[in-house]
A and B are shown apart, each in its own frame.
Chain A
Amino acid sequence: MTRFEDHQSELTARPPVCSSARDDGARQLRLITDKLPVLISYVGSDLRYRFINREYERWFGMDAAQIEGRHLREVLGSDAFDGLAPYIQRVLAGETVTFESLVPYQGAGERYVRVHYAADTEDSGRIRGFVAMVEDLSQFQGSKRQEARLAAIVADSADAIIGKDLDGNITDWNRGAERIYGYTAEEAVGRNISMTLPPDRMEEERQILDAIRMGRQIADLQVLRRHKDGRLIHLALTVSPLRDIAGRVVGASTIARDVTARLNMENRLRRVNTALVQRRVEMQDFLSIIAHDLKHPVVGIRGLLSLVLQGNRTFDDVSRENIELCVAECDRMHSLLDRLTELARIQRMHIRCKTVRLRAFLQQQADVFRAQLTQMQAHIEVRCDDVQVDIAADLVAQALVNLIDNALKYGCPRPGCTIHVDGRCGEEDVEIAVADEGAGVSTRLRDAIFKPFRRGVSGQNAPAGSGIGLAAVRSLLRRIHGDVHLDPDTTRGARFVLRIPREVENDAGEMEDHDDECDER
């Protein structure tokens, strides 16, 4: 075999093709080095180039004449040279060196390369220099990196990721699987997945593998499995077929997530919710019963007092006035009980989501007051875009009627007043405002007016905008996770703003009959 350095002078000089056998050999060698898409060079022990191939010239944008004879540091650049120096030291010690690395070449830029260095050793053991071959892997680097990253993701995933063959024999077992099942990879790989099955669930795994054999994926299957320590764990499994290069199913990958904590939490929430619903129903029944039972004697006392007044005309003024006060107190008691009943009734109202055209819906509630408006010479002006919304329409209608009723009672002090009802549809909420032209609400009472049965607030000498109406409105709105507030920036009259969530859930489970879907109207 022709030795590389024998041809050094001819190669460098690029002689014209000769017909001699020796020249033939040189030509072939030249062809090989120039046609391969790799960098080939010969470097002397003085670290100066003796030979480079065509690819080398292309990389560094210089021809052989410019490179040969120069020191590696000059051509590669200091950064690249310093990085390569330890490998070069090894090859100059006689070792054959192969490595992959990202190298910042001067002139050729940063490249991810695979490098082979082979020493040129004399019989005496002296190193004359070395041959270098450099492959540019930059084009593969992306996918290689991705592979490495993917492997790291699988290894460190908190979910269990398991590979198994079609008989259920475990082939891969990541750290998530170690944590969730309690077996180390060493213990698990090679054993059968059935070790994680409770005895009564063996059939389940067979069905899973049958589906996999047919190429089907099983997604989000809730199963019960057994931890190494014997306790049962709730898992959500996704099992997918693994295929070979010909597309044949050869195994399965399982991703398992521990949902025990979530299920326990869900069960607890369900129990607490049931208890709350139960208590609410009991509370409503209680309210309703006491309201009714207390009304009975009030009606009786009130009636008897009327009889006393009718039957006896000889009362002195003081006695008559006292009896009349008793009658008034009965009336007050009766109206309080009415409000209590009303609150209980609101709590029992069904929440049903309906699709409505907002403008028409608002106008409809305003129309309830048509006769009253004519009588009072008042007006209601509805301002709203014609949009379609999903809201708990019956509940909202009830709240709105209460607000308008309040506005008419307390917010229209003279003929010709206008009540503004403004609708606005946001991303998550619908906002409805009812503004009147009354005296407004003093700052001191802003919160109190929403509370039922507040002494001095509700009742006959109540200030503007108060009464059970507002407590009822708030109660209604809170049932659908909305609210009502008094606009603090209004300078004239009172402006109440309802915030109504869109697309509420119908109340399920707490009423005997309920609908799960929105009614399309």
Chain B
Amino acid sequence: MMNVTNGERQHQYVLLVEDDDVHVKLIARAFEKSVADISLQRVGTGAEAVAFLINACDDSEGNGLPIMIFLDLLLPDSEEVDVLEDIRRNEKLRMIPVIILSTSSEPDDVLRAYNRGANAFVNKPVDFQRLERYFQTIGQFWCETAELPVR
């Protein structure tokens, strides 16, 4: 696990589930430019993500959960672990918004993700400037406009 913001776990953070270090770097860069005061925690596999979240639930103060999850669709262990389904089945986790970040924009993939409870499906653009714009929009909506269950 890597703490992207390089500090102690802050009060509000987003969990990024992404195996590709380069993508993590790009997303972190775009994210931190657009969203202030919210850090990014990163895990590299589905199993790590599930373990991280269950561990965060057990935090007695109840404030260890991420405000939101960015989930890559194709993880090294995505055949064995279905992160989205595990989150939606878990009573303590199911309210967390999950945003799918994927290089695929296949209609089938999109439909399947929403059917299984994704809150949004975002296609990772090839153009970095556009990625930055996307994260600005995401930040504006999810972190400023919308009321979130975890504060």
Contact = CB atoms under 8 A, between A and B. Distances in A.
| Binding partners A and B | yes
Interface of A: 288, 292-293, 295-304, 306-307, 310, 330-331, 334, 341, 345, 348
A306 B103 contact: no
A299 B30 CA distance: 14
Interface string B7-43: 0000000000000101101100100000000000000
Residue of B26, B103, B104 most packed against chain A (CB within 10 A):
B103
B56 to A, nearest CB: 27
A288 B106 contact: yes
A341 B104 contact: yes
B104 A292 contact: yes
Contacts of B131: 303
B128 A303 contact: yes
B124 interface: yes
In which size bucket is the chain B interface? 10 to 19
Given A303-B22, A303-B26, A304-B26, A295 B128 contact: no
B107 interface: yes
Nearest to A309: B128
B6 interface: no
Contacts of B106: 288, 341, 345
A21 B80 CA distance: 125
A311 to B, nearest CB: 10
B126 interface: yes
22 contacts: A288-B106, A292-B104, A295-B103, A296-B20, A296-B74, A296-B103, A298-B126, A299-B103, A299-B124, A300-B20, A300-B22, A300-B23, A300-B26, A302-B126, A303-B128, A303-B131, A304-B22, A307-B29, A307-B128, A310-B128, A331-B127, A348-B108
A310 B33 CA distance: 13
B20 A330 contact: no
A241 to B, nearest CB: 58
B90 interface: no
Contacts of A292: 74, 103-104
A310 B131 CA distance: 14
Contacts of B126: 298-299, 302, 330-331, 334
Given A296-B20, A301-B22, A304-B25, 15 more contacts: A292-B74, A296-B23, A296-B74, A299-B103, A300-B20, A300-B23, A303-B131, A304-B26, A306-B128, A307-B26, A307-B29, A331-B126, A345-B106, A345-B107, A348-B108
A296 B103 CA distance: 6
B140 to A, nearest CB: 21
B74 A302 contact: no
User: Lowest 7 A-B CB distances belong to which pairs?
Assistant: A306-B128, A300-B22, A303-B26, A295-B103, A334-B126, A303-B128, A302-B126
Interface string B119-146: 0000011111101000000000000000
Contacts of B125: 299
Contacts of A330: 126
A366 B104 CA distance: 28
A338 to B, nearest CB: 8
Contacts of A331: 126-127
Given A302-B126, A303-B128, A295 B104 contact: yes
B28 to A, nearest CB: 11
A293 B128 contact: no
Contacts of B124: 299
A132 B129 CA distance: 119
Contacts of B129: 306
Contact of B127 (A296, A301, A306): A306
A295 B74 CA distance: 12
Nearest to A291: B104
Contacts of A295: 103-104
Contacts of A298: 126
A300 B106 CA distance: 19
Nearest to A342: B106
Contacts of B128: 302-303, 306-307, 310
A336 to B, nearest CB: 12
A296 B73 CA distance: 11
Contacts of B25: 303-304
B57 to A, nearest CB: 31
Nearest to B128: A306
Interface centre among A302, A303, A310 (most CB of B within 10 A): A303
Contacts of A300: 20, 22-23, 26
A292 B103 CA distance: 7
A49 to B, nearest CB: 101
Nearest to A288: B106
A310 B26 CA distance: 13
A19 B126 CA distance: 133
B33 to A, nearest CB: 11
Nearest to B102: A292
Nearest to A344: B106
Nearest to A341: B106
Contacts of B23: 296, 299-300, 303
A307 B26 CA distance: 8
A292 B108 CA distance: 13
Interface string B86-113: 0000000000000000011011100000
A82 B102 CA distance: 102
Interface in B22-79: 22-23, 25-26, 29, 74
